[in-house]
Amino acid sequence: MAGFRAKFIFAGALAALLGACHQGPKVVPLKDVAFPVVLIIGSSPRDQVAHAADVEPNQRDLSVMRVETYLGIGDQTLSDPPIVIDSEARIYDMTEIKGQHGSLWMMMNPTGLMPLTFKLTERKEQGLDAARALISACEYLGRDLDGERRVARVQRMAKATSMAGIIALIDEMPPAEDEATGH
């Protein structure tokens, strides 16, 4: 009887190990994400959406998207999934994105905000350095900036010691034209 029991326990442990090896990326509930977050859209060279990083301050804002942006990321054969980086430098892919409205609504509201459902799956690379690399590769950081301001922002981002510092840089308002030129 003891031999049978040992074999049964061994078989159960082996099945658990094999099952763990074949699990996909960990799906993280939105309630476990630390806000504000950085949303990166257009993370593939074959996509039609420029690489852009923007700050989403809360769950509600992350869960809506402009129709024209949604249409650009909706076809995962043309674009990698958007990337979400939370304020603790945890990095996720935004997958299984579904808009609440159908094609007719989108045609009638081409610039409207559409509620979304999605899953966040944990990426292999995590931490401040990985987050900084992903964000620095973006063509647009926060509000539209010219190339010179973007380069300066990326240089300042390289010195940031926290995700909060990086988020503040992305979200900062560019100086008024008079301040930038001294006129």
For residue 94, pLDDT beyond 90: yes
Q: Give the contacts of 124 (CB within 8 A, at least 6 positions apart).
A: 25
Q: Which residue range is the domain that position 87 belongs to?
A: 27-177
Per-residue confidence (pLDDT) for residue 111, from 0 to 100: 87
Tokens representing 4 are: 């049978």
Nearest to 113 by CA among 51, 163, 63, 155: 63
Query: Using alpha carbons only, how large is the chain's radius of gyration in Å?
Result: 21
Are 147 and 100 a contacting pair, CB within 8 Å? no
* pLDDT for the residue 39: 95
Please give the tally of structural domains in the chain.
Answer: 1
Mean pLDDT of the chain, nearest integer: 83
Per residue in 47-83, pLDDT tens?
A: 556 688 999 999 999 999 988 888 877 665 556 889 9
Tell whether 56 is covered by a domain.
Answer: yes
102 assigned to some structural domain? yes
Residue 3 has pLDDT above 70, yes or no: no
Residues 130-153: pLDDT tens digits?
999 999 988 889 876 678 888 889
Give the pairing type, strands 140-141 and 52-56: parallel
pLDDT tens column, 106-123 = 899 988 999 999 999 999
Alpha carbon distance 44, 137 (integer Å): 11
What was the pLDDT predicted at 8? 47
Asked whether residue 143 is assigned to any structural domain, the reply reads yes
User: What share of the chain has pLDDT > 90, as a percent?
Assistant: 48
Q: What predicted TM-score, i.e. pTM, was given to this entire model?
A: 0.79
Q: What is the mean pLDDT of residues 17-21?
A: 53
116 assigned to some structural domain? yes
